[in-house]
Structure 1
Amino acid sequence: MSKQASLSAKNSVLSDFKEITKMRLSLSVVFSSMAGYLLGADTVDFSILFLLALGGYFMVGASNAFNQIIEKDLDALMSRTKNRPVASGRMSVNVAFAIACLFTVLGIGILYVINEKTAMFGAISIFLYTSVYTPLKTKTPLAVFVGAIPGAIPFMLGWVAATNHFGIEPGTLFAIQFFWQFPHFWAIGWFLFDDYKKGGFFMLPTGNQDKGTAKQIIMYVIWTILISIVPVFGFTGALQLSVVAAVIVFALGLGMLHFAVQLYKKMNVLAAKHLMLASVLYITLLQIVYVVDKFIR
């Protein structure tokens, strides 16, 4: 094999690894779990932080690999997913299944080294995403509600990793990311509506790009904003938020609400894309504000 061919093969393997683990999504999950850890830890243990990042990546990678095996025929029908390794035929189902199983064992095993509760929530996340959310996607828009559960676990997982305890604090972190996911995923479902339709996925709450869906998006944005500022009132135990931080988070929420209202007014793909980007910016900045506020308060 020539040097160029060898380099091309290595690039292909790396590209397929990124695709089957959905690297960008996995890294965002790692970021959320690390933010949760920093919020829960009295003193930061960087070895635990590293294990959490590694275990979290494998956990999400396993879920995504199983998902792409189950949906390989449907992925092949959609422009967005037809070039995924399994759907395109570049990777066999057997190889993908071996990767998914390996990632599951590594992910849960590494999280177990941190503590048993962290491993348990990691296992629940993989199970719900793979065995409940994925099969439901072609059957009912309620799949988004189920998918929001494993999607909300990472922020909470970090706190549990830091404290080995589940209570009001990680429950609040879970609630924030749980409600946030509805406007986020429905915005994606809106601008990818036609592509999803090719694969038989109907992700919007009413099944259509209509006023009913837009109203529900606005409602869930409002719920997200309200839950995100709850820690300022002192109801959430050790999870606290200063007034200044709460004002910043509230302002970020109003920014996301603006784009949700714009979607309701314009009812078009561009408005949905703007809302999706605003939602990503919101949850990222919220987590940064929460962490910074803890360490400077």
Structure 2
Amino acid sequence: MPEAITHTAQISWVSEFKTLTKHRLSLSVVFSSLAGYVLGAQQFEVLTFALLFVGGYAMVGASNAFNQIIEKDLDALMKRTQNRPLPSGRMTVNTAWVTAVVLTLIGLTLLYIINPTTAFFGGVSIFIYVAIYTPLKTKTPLSVFVGAFPGAIPFMLGWVATSGDFGIEPGTLFMIQFFWQFPHFWALGWWLYDDYKSGGFFMLPTGKRDTGTAIQIILYCIWTIAVSIIPVFGVTGDLRLSLGSAGIVFILGLIMLYFAIRLYQKRDTKSAKQLMLASVTYITLIQLVYVGDKIFRVWL
């Protein structure tokens, strides 16, 4: 019986850890870093790839843990988050703090082993997310703008891990994910507007599900598409994109834009949810297209 209890406790701890670190979100963010690494790597190094994976997950997981510590009382007010470990009482704040701090130390150490610049950007990301973005979420819609900076770092971080410095190539990857976050998070904010309102969060640029917000979503979709195809013009150093791949990226962007226009026309939660899902699909697929394009051009 004691063994069964211990096994159950271990399963429970793993489950709570996954929830505290938002493992699905963390893995999707790490995927961006790994895609950036493949794009920048002149020679694939398994050790660097593994360090980036584990270190990246630790940093993102720590950010999410700190975020939940700060927002535990607000999370209790929203249906979407009230069953998280802290607001539900299944985990103590002290346990969450220790977990977040340990993950931060692990993440920074592993990223520093890759190179100091990678660790620097990882540290900047967690600082902005926890110390600036999180407190601003209940103060101003500009929080989305601030949060777009740490949110855009992962894609470029993989390239920095291969080069050790910041240049036009990782800068372009940064801008792609930076602009993409606005239609993504505004669609999410529109879809979950009532829940966010219960927690006191300001997610939409005008504060309302109105024409102004819908128009800004469309504009940022257009800018995202434009930035995403810039490498095809040969102005982004070693970051290149073939004409065929650029065409695919452009079509994927038009699909996302279509759902943004539908939201403008209908202004309902269903359209917002569809746009949010379309935006997730877009960023995932274009990263795969970028990676596939490089493999086809260079590695085969």
TM range (shorter): over 0.9
CA distance, structure 2, for counterparts of residue 279 and residue 6 of structure 1 = 42
| Counterpart amino acid of residue 163 in structure 2 | T
The within-5 A match list for 1:1-297 is: 1-2=1-2, 4-297=4-297
CA shift at 1:79, angstroms?
A: 0.5
CA distance, structure 2, for counterparts of residue 269 and residue 6 of structure 1 = 44
How far does the alpha carbon of each residue in 1:220-261 deviate from its partner, in whole angstroms, 9 at most, with x for none? 000000000000001100000000000000000000000000
How far does the alpha carbon of each residue in 1:15-64 deviate from its partner, in whole angstroms, 9 at most, with x for none? 11111100001000110000000000001101100100000000001101
CA shift at 1:12, angstroms?
A: 1.7
CA shift at 1:10, angstroms?
A: 2.4
CA shift at 1:136, angstroms?
A: 0.2
CA shift at 1:165, angstroms?
A: 1.7
How far does the alpha carbon of each residue in 1:243-285 deviate from its partner, in whole angstroms, 9 at most, with x for none? 0000000000000000000101111111011001100110000
How far does the alpha carbon of each residue in 1:74-97 deviate from its partner, in whole angstroms, 9 at most, with x for none? 001100111111111111111100
CA distance, structure 2, for counterparts of residue 87 and residue 238 of structure 1 = 47
| Counterpart amino acid of residue 126 in structure 2 | I
CA shift at 1:65, angstroms?
A: 0.6
How far does the alpha carbon of each residue in 1:135-165 deviate from its partner, in whole angstroms, 9 at most, with x for none? 0000000000000100000000000001112
CA distance, structure 2, for counterparts of residue 186 and residue 3 of structure 1 = 48
CA distance, structure 1, for counterparts of residue 12 and residue 189 of structure 2 = 29
CA shift at 1:8, angstroms?
A: 3.1
Uncovered stretches (5+) of structure 2, i.e. residues with no partner: none
| Counterpart amino acid of residue 22 in structure 1 | K
Uncovered stretches (5+) of structure 1, i.e. residues with no partner: none
CA shift at 1:4, angstroms?
A: 4.7
| Counterpart amino acid of residue 236 in structure 1 | T
| Counterpart amino acid of residue 8 in structure 2 | S
| Counterpart amino acid of residue 31 in structure 1 | F
CA shift at 1:118, angstroms?
A: 0.1
CA shift at 1:3, angstroms?
A: 5.1
SS of structure 1 residue aligned to 2:181: helix
Aligned residues: 297
CA distance, structure 1, for counterparts of residue 114 and residue 87 of structure 2 = 35
SS of structure 2 residue aligned to 1:139: coil
CA distance, structure 2, for counterparts of residue 113 and residue 8 of structure 1 = 36
SS of structure 1 residue aligned to 2:216: helix
Segments of 4+ moved more than 4 angstroms = 1-4
Instruction: Kindly report the root-mean-square deviation, in angstroms, between the aligned alpha carbons of the 2 structures.
Output: 0.9
Q: TM-score, normalised by structure 1?
A: 0.98
SS of structure 2 residue aligned to 1:217: helix
How far does the alpha carbon of each residue in 1:168-199 deviate from its partner, in whole angstroms, 9 at most, with x for none? 00000000000000000011101110000111
- Amino-acid identity (%): 66
CA distance, structure 1, for counterparts of residue 156 and residue 13 of structure 2 = 33
| Counterpart amino acid of residue 165 in structure 2 | H
| Counterpart amino acid of residue 124 in structure 1 | V
